[in-house]
Copies of this chain bind each other. A is one copy, B any other.
Amino acid sequence: MAGNSFGDVFRITTFGESHGKAIGVIIDGCPPNIAVDESFIQSELDKRRPGQSKITTQRKESDTASILSGVFEGKTTGTPLAMLIPNEDQRSKDYTHIKDKYRPSHADYTYQMKYGIRDYRGGGRSSARETAARVAAGAVAKSFLAQYGIRIFAHVSGVGKIEAPNLPSHDIDELVQMRESNIVRCADPATANEMVSFIDSIRKAGDTVGGRISAIIQHVPVGLGEPVFDKLHADLAKAMMGINAVHGFEYGSGFAGSEMRGSEHNDIFVNPDRDAAKLKTLTNFSGGIQGGISNGMEIAFRVAFKPVATLMRAQQTINESGEETEITGKGRHDPCVVPRAVIIVEAMAALVITDHLLKNQIYATK
């Protein structure tokens, strides 16, 4: 109801504010006997962590997750798995200047109107800091999916008007290596260079810029997704639109597909494996999902992020009393959110696929 939970079966609930004591997450419905590797969880958190490069915020947070419950002798027990990430570098003073001002295109005004109270420090609950909890939970989900050979890859495919070419490979290990070779997390090195320079110039100008993340999911079995409201792509859409700053989602052929004709767009079935339960399609405009259900092909989607709202420039705004005032970003902020958001996109995708995989065990024919 209050919307701090995600998933039906593998269900996470996050808590915490940007400048409170801690943030964290409970996973309820995690299957038992999954090996949990804390160093893997940490390596995922490190990809989202602030202060990792010159093009991200300089806030210093080690983002160390400790597991409080649900794991016994290195394995999940089927009971709630709680993880805690303490807040360390809470320069709350940086935020007294916004105590009674509404930052443009932020959630200050809407929170104040909805709740009549808000923790203004660093955006409180509306801060993207909350997504660290999602990344920790996503790491557990990825460990579970690994048992099924399911792998997820996301990278920065666009920054401002710069657009990366199609993925240079469909080998995820290769793709990860290429992506992690640069600080903007684009799998195409040449484009990555261009993006880094552009973001850096934007940052120096005290401005920010939007971007796009593209993702693929491989080896998803046929049959995931509930075909009416809880279509697999509908849940992916909700998951992605729930990430801070996201303004758009498309899968398969997406918006471009809406310009096509059926005769171009239809994905023709073929049976290269001579197995009636493992059909392939010649093209993949369906993005691996037909009628809301995975068809065994690679799932592909794309997410659009608006530019970060906090500028290191003066902007006109209104205060809580309704009067005109001016505001300039202090604190430590990202000039472009997509390099750190790549891992959040992967985490949310892992949560969706895990949830549907478990859900499908109920209905799958035997």
A331, chain B: closest CB distance, angstroms:
15
Q: Assess the B117–A4 pair: CB atoms within 8 A.
A: no
A-B contacts, 21 listed (Cβ < 8 Å): A2-B11, A3-B28, A4-B226, A5-B13, A13-B26, A15-B82, A72-B119, A75-B117, A77-B119, A102-B269, A115-B365, A130-B228, A160-B261, A208-B261, A208-B263, A229-B242, A242-B292, A247-B252, A255-B255, A258-B305, A276-B320
- For A266, list chain B residues within 8 Å (CB): 104-105, 309, 311, 315
Query: Does chain B have a CB within 8 A of A361?
Result: yes
Complex: how many Å from CA A130 to CA B359?
Answer: 23
- Residues of chain A from 223 to 256 with CB closer than 8 A to chain B in the complex: 223, 225-231, 233-235, 237-242, 247-255
The 6 closest A-B pairs by CB, nearest first: A107-B291, A3-B226, A3-B230, A116-B365, A276-B322, A248-B250
- For A171, list chain B residues within 8 Å (CB): none
- For A107, list chain B residues within 8 Å (CB): 227, 290-293
A217, chain B: closest CB distance, angstroms:
16
Q: Which of A17-25, A45-53, A172-180, A189-197 contacts B (4 or more CB under 8 A)?
A: A17-25
Q: Assess the B234–A316 pair: CB atoms within 8 A.
A: no
Complex: how many Å from CA A362 to CA B359?
Answer: 7
> Known: A254-B248, A266-B105. Contact between A237 and B241, CB under 8 A?
yes
Q: Which of A36-44, A54-62, A63-71, A138-146 contacts B (4 or more CB under 8 A)?
A: A63-71
Query: Does chain B have a CB within 8 A of A125?
Result: yes
Which B residue's beta carbon lies closest to that of A131? B228
Query: Does chain B have a CB within 8 A of A106?
Result: yes
Query: Does chain B have a CB within 8 A of A313?
Result: yes
A-B contacts besides A113-B295, A231-B241, A268-B317, 17 pairs, CB < 8 Å: A5-B28, A9-B362, A16-B80, A20-B68, A21-B68, A79-B119, A109-B290, A110-B290, A111-B291, A114-B222, A114-B363, A210-B260, A228-B242, A234-B238, A237-B241, A248-B255, A249-B249
> Known: A294-B110, A304-B258. Contact between A363 and B2, CB under 8 A?
yes
- Residues of chain A from 85 to 102 with CB closer than 8 A to chain B in the complex: 102
- For A67, list chain B residues within 8 Å (CB): 21
Complex: how many Å from CA A92 to CA B292?
Answer: 24
Q: Assess the B250–A304 pair: CB atoms within 8 A.
A: yes
Query: Does chain B have a CB within 8 A of A183?
Result: no
> Known: A231-B242, A250-B304. Contact between A358 and B362, CB under 8 A?
yes
Q: Which of B105, B305, B318, B365 contacts A285 (CB 8 A)?
A: B105
Query: Does chain B have a CB within 8 A of A33?
Result: yes
A257, chain B: closest CB distance, angstroms:
5
Q: Assess the A17–B209 pair: CB atoms within 8 A.
A: no
- For A212, list chain B residues within 8 Å (CB): 255, 258
- For A252, list chain B residues within 8 Å (CB): 247, 306
- For A105, list chain B residues within 8 Å (CB): 262, 265-267, 285-286, 290
Please indicate which of the listed interface residues A102, A249, A251, A295 has the most CB atoms of chain B within 10 Å of its own CB: A249
